Amino acid sequence: MIPDATKRTEAALKRHVAAIMAGDADSVMRNFADDAVAYTSEDTLHGQDAIRADIESFVNSTPEGMRDNFQVVRRDIDGDVAYITWKAEPFVLMATETFVVTDDKIPVQAYLIMESRSA
């Protein structure tokens, strides 16, 4: 039997990925806690405003065809933690994302995206 926390984390991750794939920044932001923190390779983003700016930048700069090439390589969910690796070649060679989910919201996310120089 899958623990309830794992089921809730899986549901939150599905909502988050679906919102990103739809390019819907408002839906993406509904997944984050008000005081969420996102750790990136370039910065630490504190709160809804900083995370929204990052999400909107990603959504608005997504190249044509990138979403069509999105592929999850690995997905692990254990309790309130989710870890995925994905790619969208030739645009993104590999990306890793880790999420903590509490009360159906993401209070913590960490990610690294390795983009192709030729994309």
Cβ neighbours of 72 (radius 10 Å)? 10
The share of the chain scoring above pLDDT 90, in percent, equals 81
Rounded average pLDDT over 19-40: 95
SS (H, E, C) the chain: CCCHHHHHHHHHHHHHHHHHHHCCHHHHHCCEEEEEEEECCCCEEEHHHHHHHHHHHHHHHCCCCCHHHCEEEEEEEECCEEEEEEEECCCEEEEEEEEEEECCEEEEEEEEEEECCCC
Q: Which residues pair with 110 in a beta bridge?
A: 39, 98
Rounded average pLDDT over 1-24: 89
Domain carrying residue 19: 4-115
User: What is the chain's mean pLDDT, rounded?
Assistant: 92
Residue 1 has pLDDT above 80, yes or no: no
Q: Which two tokens stand for residue 91?
A: 């645009």
CATH number at residue 37: 3.10.450.50
**Of the candidates 11, 22, 23, the residue with the CA atom closest to the CA atom of residue 99:** 11
Residue the block writes with tokens 């509490």: 102
pLDDT of 56-99, one tens digit each?
998 888 888 898 999 999 999 999 999 999 999 999 999 999 99
Residue 118 has pLDDT above 60, yes or no: no
Structural domains in the chain (count): 1
